Structure 1
Amino acid sequence: MSVLATIEKQSNYHIATFKRPLLYSIDAVWAAMTNNENLQKWMSNLEIIELRKNGKIHFNMNDGTGNFEEITITDYVEKEVLGFGWGTDTVRFELFSTEKGSLLVLVETLQNLTEHTPKDLAGWHICLDMLKDLLNGVDHQYFPMDEWQQRFSEYQKMLNSIK
């Protein structure tokens, strides 16, 4: 079972940090994060259009309409950093090499804590678990809502204790 994110209060915002040690090389993890065929197996809404700083990602609604929101890549260093806007917040993936493979760190900067925040955090948590599963050769056919519900409850409790 993966560890919950940490949430730290800064002056006028919060930082949520997820850390996932992975038994895979940076090359393998980067490919799982940035190759659309792989990406959509753990984050089905995202589609990379232009993989570069100031490039574009689509957040597809996946509702049959073809509608999407365009997201700008704000920070990009190949095989090291992928950062982008996430509504009023920002999301940043960082990859580090380790003796046993790599460390994936996801940092979400939260401008405001809202009732949607624990939903978002639970979503990232499950998506990172699905990314790890993908690297381990497990392909999820559906988003695991039961697991998401459990994480949502845990993040709600965590956020209630720091407000």
Structure 2
Amino acid sequence: MIANIAQKTGVLTATYERSLQHEPESVWAYLTDNSKLKRWFLELEIQDLKRGGEIRFDLGNGNHERMKITEVDHQKVLAFTWDKNVVRFELTADGKCCMLVFIAYLYEITDHTPKDLAGWHVCLDVIETLLDGRTMEDRTAIWQTYYPKYQQALQKAVADL
């Protein structure tokens, strides 16, 4: 199942929900500890984990894009800019498990947006796989299955605006 793409308070959003069989502390570590973050998103590095802090995206050519952290609530919320958009991770404890909700706020929609949405889908799959002590063999193949689905869903959502 792909993310739910809908309009919320005047902006298009893509909302992903994952019920994880892990405590919020473990999930939070994958979002904020650079050694774990690199396991599911190699190009990201947190520079300063605080509101107004920075996450760097390594463009692979010696350059970095700087993204501003817009919200941090330890083991509950991490939000940061993603080009002209904002992404937000929310964790809600449920005993020894947690609900992970990821929301992409799509203020600007480009031809690259469905690629990003498919990419975030795979990233969430990888986080869950790593938490479960497994590895994901072919991320690209999985991305290729989701990309056309996100293209289609985004086209429909934009047409419905």
For normalisation by structure 2, the TM-score amounts to 0.92
Tell me the equivalent position of 2:150.
Answer: 155
CA displacement at 1:67 relative to structure 2 = 1.6
- Which letter does structure 1 place at the counterpart of 2:139? P
Q: Distance in 2 between matches of 1:144 and 1:113?
A: 24
Query: Which residue number corresponds to residue 47 of structure 2?
Result: 49
Distance 2:3 2:108 in 1: 17
Distance 1:76 1:98, change over 3 A: same
- Structure 1 residue runs of 4+, over 4 Å off? none
**SS of equivalent residue, structure 1 residue 90:** strand
* Conservation of the 8 A alpha-carbon contact between 1:52 and 1:76: yes
Tell me the secondary structure at the aligned position of residue 110 of structure 2. coil
Please list, as runs of the form range in 1=range in 2, the aligned pairs for 1:92-103 lying within 5 A after superposition.
92-99=88-95, 101-103=97-99
Contact 1:14 1:112 in 2 (8 A): no
RMSD after superposition: 1.5
**After superposition, what is the alpha-carbon deviation per residue over 1:36-68, rounded to whole angstroms, capped at 9, x for unaligned?**
11101111111011111111110111x2x3321
Specify every segment of 5 or more residues in structure 1 that has no aligned partner in the other structure, as ranges.
Answer: none
Distance 1:38 1:98 in 2: 23
1:66 aligned residue (57, 62, 73): 62
Deviations 1:56-102 (A, max 9, x none): 110111x2x33211111010111111010111100111100114500
Corresponding residue number in structure 2 for 1:122 = 118
Amino acid at match of 1:14: L
Change (3 A) 1:80 1:115: same
Equivalent residues of 1:24, 1:135 under 8 A apart: yes
Given that residues 13 and 112 in structure 1 are in contact (C-alpha distance below 8 angstroms), is that contact kept between their aligned partners in structure 2?
Answer: no
- When normalised by structure 1's length, the TM-score is 0.90
Which ranges of structure 2 fall in alignment gaps of 5 or more residues?
A: none
The alpha-carbon deviation at position 159 of structure 1 amounts to 1.5
Identity %: 38
